[in-house]
């Protein structure tokens, strides 16, 4: 993409309403524009990141055997009366009346609708296990939206639902989700810690929240520092292997890690040696639940088991805040100059900075690099504006592309360009061909 043909309205000054760093940078980098309180439009750069996160989640969900579907944002109140949540959910649920006076609502979550789909089509234990998920807009009429996309009223969320014949199978689904979530966050360059949590309005018995450590987090968290050392890395995972999933889940849930909701100071002090105790803040970026037959029983989502009995299915649900993750990643990865995107979610793989726009040789060198990267299946952002070097550098730093190739007449005289890592600030001079090769290497396999 050429900067001159892109829509990237960067701001030099910070809009007054933005309080936290991710919100400030998202506005300054031209990623979002507020439409009203807690509701945002996504501009091209922000939309790219949102799509990248979404893509990773889709890939990891399907790798775990889960099936993507898409359910409507507007739902009839009827199903919600059936589960009893129409009255329970409270003011947070946005209620709408259609022209016939029918009660509708903008979905805050979709247990009812997915259960309705399930009971209409699944009748035998032989069709289990089944896990359906979607990535869809949700609306929760928060009392006080704030922090940009971190606590919007409208937000983009992955929500999944597993249906299993009994508690043991549902437990495997729970573990499987934990592993698939850990993998997803890792691919996004995030350290997200599963923490024992409260179930809130979803209800249920077992639940973990995934927290990204950041000073601006809304939850206070208490954990054993050992947990931040854990990593899935290149481990081969077989999602149909109950033991492997259970082992990984145990690995991540054994060290003490809880939010203020469930924190137990005495247990914390008993279990964790003092030098490993950490008290910090975290951003919730996902949660998984097992809630048994809470919805299946009242809504009649039953199957016939192998003894010919009608039994309600055991269910769980799982959510990842996709739009919130955009903010959370920035909170976890930025410096005083701007965003530092992890390679997994970056809106463009590399930036090309032309230091002497209009100089025939420099222009051509930039075009060649641009073509070579594009040829390699990568998406560069070429800053071809008539701007001074300083302005171009400042923009690149702000929008946070992890790699930058700087091309100027001075270097070209010696046959070199500069390759700079946004995270470390380290630069090296090398030939244009080598610079392209290095970038290809960095993104190989992703």
Among 63, 102, 235, 388, binds RNA (CB under 7 A): 388
Residue 12 binds RNA, judged by CB under 7 A: yes
- Cα dihedral 323, 328, 334, 340 in deg (nearest 10): -50
Site for RNA in 233-272 (CB under 7 A): none
Residue 356 binds RNA, judged by CB under 7 A: yes
Cis peptide bond prior to 129, omega within 30° of 0: yes
Among 180, 323, 333, 346, binds RNA (CB under 7 A): 323
- For the chain, the straight-line distance linking the first and the last C-alpha, in angstroms and rounded, comes to 20
From 65-73, 77-85, 200-208, 269-277, span contacting RNA (CB under 7 A): 200-208
Residue 34 binds RNA, judged by CB under 7 A: yes
Residue 230 binds RNA, judged by CB under 7 A: no
**In the complex with RNA, which residue's Cβ is closer, 46 or 408?**
408
Residue of 27, 49, 8 lying closest to 188 (CA atoms):
49
From 6-14, 77-85, 233-241, 308-316, span contacting RNA (CB under 7 A): 6-14
**In the complex with RNA, which residue's Cβ is closer, 19 or 374?**
19
Q: Which helix (H) or strand (E) holds 103?
A: strand 103-106
Among 102, 409, 428, 433, binds RNA (CB under 7 A): 409
Q: Check residue 114 and report its DSSP letter.
A: H
From 36-44, 53-61, 243-251, 273-281, span contacting RNA (CB under 7 A): 36-44
Asked if 359 and 190 touch (Cβ cutoff 8 Å), the reply is no
Residue 282 binds RNA, judged by CB under 7 A: no
**In the complex with RNA, which residue's Cβ is closer, 201 or 300?**
201
Residue 397 binds RNA, judged by CB under 7 A: yes
Provide, rounded to whole angstroms, the least separation between the CB of residue 14 and RNA.
Answer: 6
**Which string of DSSP letters, residue by residue, matches 292-355?**
ETTTHHHHT-EEE-TTS-EEEPEEEEEEEEHHHHHHHHHHHSEETTEE---TTT-SSSEEEEES
Cα–Cα distances (Å) from 145 to 32, 49, 92, 139, 149, in that order, read: 16, 22, 11, 12, 9
Residue 66 binds RNA, judged by CB under 7 A: no
**In the complex with RNA, which residue's Cβ is closer, 139 or 443?**
139
Residue 320 binds RNA, judged by CB under 7 A: yes
Q: Check residue 93 and report its DSSP letter.
A: S
Provide, rounded to whole angstroms, the least separation between the CB of residue 168 and RNA.
Answer: 25
> Within 10 A of 56 (CB to CB), how many other CB atoms are there?
22
Asked if 417 and 358 touch (Cβ cutoff 8 Å), the reply is no
Site for RNA in 287-306 (CB under 7 A): 287
Residue 3 binds RNA, judged by CB under 7 A: no
Residue 110 binds RNA, judged by CB under 7 A: no
- Cα dihedral 261, 262, 266, 268 in deg (nearest 10): -100
**In the complex with RNA, which residue's Cβ is closer, 134 or 302?**
134
Among 390, 424, 441, 446, binds RNA (CB under 7 A): 390
Residue 151 binds RNA, judged by CB under 7 A: yes
**In the complex with RNA, which residue's Cβ is closer, 165 or 396?**
396
Q: What's the CA gap between 216 and 214, in Å, rounded?
A: 5
Pairing status of strand 67-68 against strand 130-139 = parallel
Provide, rounded to whole angstroms, the least separation between the CB of residue 46 and RNA.
Answer: 14
Q: Is residue 64 packed enough to be buried (19+ CB in 10 Å), middle (13-18) or exposed (0-12)?
A: buried
Residue 15 binds RNA, judged by CB under 7 A: yes
Encoded one letter per residue, x for contact with RNA by CB under 7 A and - for no contact, window 325-354 reads ------------x-----------------
Burial readout 170-184 (b: 16 or more C-beta within 10 A, e: otherwise): bbbbbbbbbbbbbbb
Q: What's the CA gap between 43 and 32, in Å, rounded?
A: 5
Q: What's the CA gap between 145 and 154, in Å, rounded?
A: 10
Number of residues that bind RNA (CB under 7 A): 65
Helix (H, G, I), strand (E, B) or coil at 385: coil
Residue 30 binds RNA, judged by CB under 7 A: no
Residue 274 binds RNA, judged by CB under 7 A: no
Name the site residues for RNA (rule: CB under 7 A).
10-17, 19, 34, 36-38, 92, 140, 142-147, 149-153, 155, 157, 200-202, 209, 218-219, 284-287, 319-321, 323-324, 337, 355-356, 358, 387-391, 393-395, 397-398, 406, 408-412, 418, 420
């Amino acid at each position: 993409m050429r900067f001159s043909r892109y829509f990237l309205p960067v701001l030099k000054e910070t809009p007054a309403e933005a309080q936290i760093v991710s919100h400030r940078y998202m506005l300054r980098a031209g990623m979002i524009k507020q439409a009203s309180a807690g509701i945002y439009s996504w501009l091209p750069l922000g939309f790219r990141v949102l799509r990248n996160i979404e893509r990773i989640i889709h890939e990891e969900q399907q790798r775990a055997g889960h099936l993507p579907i898409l359910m409507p944002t507007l739902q009839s109140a009827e199903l919600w009366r059936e589960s009893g949540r129409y009255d329970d959910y409270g003011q947070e649920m946005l209620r709408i009346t259609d022209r016939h006076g029918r009660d509708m609502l903008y979905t805050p979550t979709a247990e009812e609708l997915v259960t309705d789909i399930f009971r209409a089509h699944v009748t035998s234990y032989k069709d289990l296990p089944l896990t359906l998920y979607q990535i869809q807009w949700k609306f929760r009429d928060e009392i006080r939206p704030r922090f940009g996309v971190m606590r919007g009223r409208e937000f983009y969320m992955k929500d999944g639902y597993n249906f299993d014949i009994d508690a043991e199978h549902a437990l495997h689904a729970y573990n499987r989700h934990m592993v698939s979530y850990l993998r997803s966050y890792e691919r996004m360059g995030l350290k997200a810690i599963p923490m024992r949590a409260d179930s809130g309005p979803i209800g249920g018995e077992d639940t973990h929240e995934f927290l990204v450590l950041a000073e601006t987090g809304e939850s206070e968290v208490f954990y054993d520092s050992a947990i931040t050392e854990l990593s899935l890395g290149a481990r081969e995972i077989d999602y149909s292997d109950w033991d492997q999933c259970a082992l990984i889940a145990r690995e991540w849930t054994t060290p003490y890690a809880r939010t203020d909701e469930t924190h137990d100071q005495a247990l914390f002090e008993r279990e964790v040696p003092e030098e490993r105790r950490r008290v910090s803040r975290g951003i919730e970026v996902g949660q998984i639940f097992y809630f048994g037959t809470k919805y299946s029983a009242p809504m009649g989502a039953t199957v016939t088991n192998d003894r010919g009995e009608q039994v309600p299915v055991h269910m769980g649900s799982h959510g990842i805040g996709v739009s919130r993750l955009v903010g959370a990643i920035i909170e976890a990865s930025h410096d005083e100059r701007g965003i530092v995107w992890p390679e997994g979610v970056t809106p463009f793989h590399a930036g090309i900075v032309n230091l002497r726009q209009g100089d025939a040789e420099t222009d051509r060198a930039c075009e060649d690099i641009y073509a070579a990267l594009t040829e390699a299946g990568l998406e560069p952002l070429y800053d071809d504006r008539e701007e001074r070097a300083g302005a171009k550098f400042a923009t690149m730093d702000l929008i946070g592309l992890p790699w930058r190739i700087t091309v100027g007449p001075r270097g070209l005289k010696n046959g070199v360009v500069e390759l700079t890592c946004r995270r470390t600030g380290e630069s090296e001079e090398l030939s244009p061909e080598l610079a392209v090769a290095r970038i290809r290497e960095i993104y190989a396999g992703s």
